[in-house]
C-alpha cells in the first residue's frame, strides 16, 4: 500500500528542529556584587536545572546598568571595554558548567533597570526558566524592592531565585562556603 503522507512528515526531525524546540535556561549573573558563595550556589543550581532539562540551551546574561540622564563611559579605569570585560567574565563564570560551546550564549545587556532588561530578554527570547541570585536582605532592599523580586513577580516563565543560606551581608568575591538554598517561582 502506498503511504499517503509526504516523506517530510515521516522523516526524523533534524538538528534545526531539535534546537528550535530546546528549552532556554537563562542564568542572570550579577558580576559586580556577587560573593563567591552566591556565584557558586547559582552555578550549582544552574547545573542541576540544566542536567534535568534535556537539550537545554543556556543563556548567560549580565546587565550593565547605565545612567538614566548622564553619559556613561564605555571604558573602565584601565581603558578596557566594560562590555567586553563582562563577556569574558561570563565565559569564565560558565566554564565549570561543562556545557558544549554550541549550547551556551553570552549576553551583556545595557539598561537603566536590570529587572526590566532581564524580563525583556526573557520575553523576546522565549526563555523557559530564569535562574538568578538574590543578595542578602537589607532595609533599603525591603523598602525599594529587589531585582530578583521584580523578575519573579513579572516573568513569563519559571524563576529560580538562589540565596546563600543564613547570609545577612555577602562576603567579597573571594569568600568561601557552600550552604545555599533555591526558591522556585512558577508561572503558568
In a domain, 35, yes or no: yes
Distance CA 13, CA 63 (A): 36
pLDDT band at residue 123, thresholds of 50, 70 and 90? very high
In a domain, 7, yes or no: no
The pLDDT of residue 107? 97
In a domain, 4, yes or no: no
Residue whose C-alpha cell is 563611559: 73
Q: What is the CATH number of the domain that holds 61?
A: 3.40.50.620
- The tally of domains found in the chain comes to 1
Range of the domain at 30: 24-185
Q: Which tops the pLDDT comparison, 136 or 2? A: 136
Instruction: Report the DSSP pairing between strands 129-133 and 24-28.
Output: parallel
In a domain, 172, yes or no: yes
The pLDDT of residue 188? 40
In a domain, 116, yes or no: yes
The pLDDT of residue 173? 40
The pLDDT of residue 134? 86
pLDDT, tens digit (0-9, with 9 covering 90-100), for 133-163: 987 665 545 544 689 999 999 999 999 999 8
pLDDT, tens digit (0-9, with 9 covering 90-100), for 124-133: 999 999 999 9
pLDDT beyond 70 at 22? yes
In a domain, 87, yes or no: yes
Annotate 23-86 with DSSP letters as a single string.
Answer: -EEEEE--TTT--HHHHHHHHHHHHHHHHTSTT-EEEEEEEEE--SSSPPPSB-TTS-BHHHHH
pLDDT, tens digit (0-9, with 9 covering 90-100), for 30-47: 887 557 888 899 999 999
Q: What integer best gives the mean pLDDT of the chain? A: 79
Consecutive H or E run containing 5 = none
> What order of strands is seen across the sheet that includes strand 180-185?
104-111, 57-65, 24-28, 129-133, 158-164, 180-185
In a domain, 68, yes or no: yes
The pLDDT of residue 81? 85
The pLDDT of residue 67? 76
* 158 grid coordinates: 519559571
The pLDDT of residue 169? 47
In a domain, 93, yes or no: yes
Amino acid at each position: 500500500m502506498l503511504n499517503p503522507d509526504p516523506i517530510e512528515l515521516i522523516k526524523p526531525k533534524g538538528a534545526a528542529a531539535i534546537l528550535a524546540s530546546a528549552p532556554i535556561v537563562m542564568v542572570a549573573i550579577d558580576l559586580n556584587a556577587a560573593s563567591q558563595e552566591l556565584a557558586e550556589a547559582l552555578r550549582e543550581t544552574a547545573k542541576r536545572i540544566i542536567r534535568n532539562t534535556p537539550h537545554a540551551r543556556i543563556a548567560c546574561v549580565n546587565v550593565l546598568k547605565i545612567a538614566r540622564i548622564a553619559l556613561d563611559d564605555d571604558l573602565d579605569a584601565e581603558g578596557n571595554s566594560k562590555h567586553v570585560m563582562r563577556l569574558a567574565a561570563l565565559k569564565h563564570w560558565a566554564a565549570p558548567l561543562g556545557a558544549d560551546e554550541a549550547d551556551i550564549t553570552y549576553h551583556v545587556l545595557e539598561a537603566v533597570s536590570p529587572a526590566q532588561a532581564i524580563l525583556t530578554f526573557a520575553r523576546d527570547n522565549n526563555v523557559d526558566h530564569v535562574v538568578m541570585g538574590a543578595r542578602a536582605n537589607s532595609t533599603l532592599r525591603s523598602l525599594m524592592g529587589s531585582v530578583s523580586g521584580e523578575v519573579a513577580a513579572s516573568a513569563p516563565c519559571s524563576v529560580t531565585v538562589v540565596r546563600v543560606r543564613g547570609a545577612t551581608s555577602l562576603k567579597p568575591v573571594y569568600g568561601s562556603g557552600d550552604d545555599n538554598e533555591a526558591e522556585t517561582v512558577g508561572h503558568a
